[in-house]
Amino acid sequence: MFKKAEKHIKNLRTLGAIVLHEIDATTMKNDLNLVGKVFDRIIFNFPHAGFIGHENNKRVIEVHRTLVRGFFKNASMMLSAQGEVHVTHKTTNPFNKWNLAQLANEVGLKLIETQDFHIEDYPGYRNKRGNGGKADKPFPLGESAKFKFAKIKA
């Protein structure tokens, strides 16, 4: 599917990274490879639940929100005390209707910082479609930002 995947995975493993496949972001805390693990950073770049209709359709927006809500719920339980969840996401309509800060807040995370995302600040990063006939092709980023979240202190 992805032409350079094997090369990138090999490079990551050489650098000491653990590479896992087919992890469901909405149930990842229960994955046998991740149970009991705690992380300082959990990152999800450009979450997307797939193409199931027009992006501005309320039902489609809710499907995407359900994905992100499930991710935040799981990630919040896998963070170290000072850990952060980073989500890079488009900021224009209709993507801004996902309301990431609200979804994070529902599971005990708060927005601590937002930074404009410029792909040129990340040499070597290539955004890719994840499925379908256009998999391995880039998608238009448009205006995007990195949203950083941390646990709400009790």
Nearest alpha-carbon partner for 106 in 148, 73, 75: 73
105 alpha-carbon distance from chain centroid:
16
Query: Band of the pLDDT at 1, cuts 50, 70, 90?
Result: low
Q: What share of the chain in percent tops pLDDT 90?
A: 70
Average pLDDT of the chain, as a whole number = 92
Q: Tell me the domains of the chain and their CATH numbers.
A: 5-151 (3.40.50.150)
- Reported as a single tens digit per residue, the pLDDT across 40-91 is 999 999 999 887 788 989 999 999 999 999 999 999 999 999 999 999 999 9
Give the list of residues 6+ apart from residue 92 with CB closer than 8 angstroms, or none: 142, 143
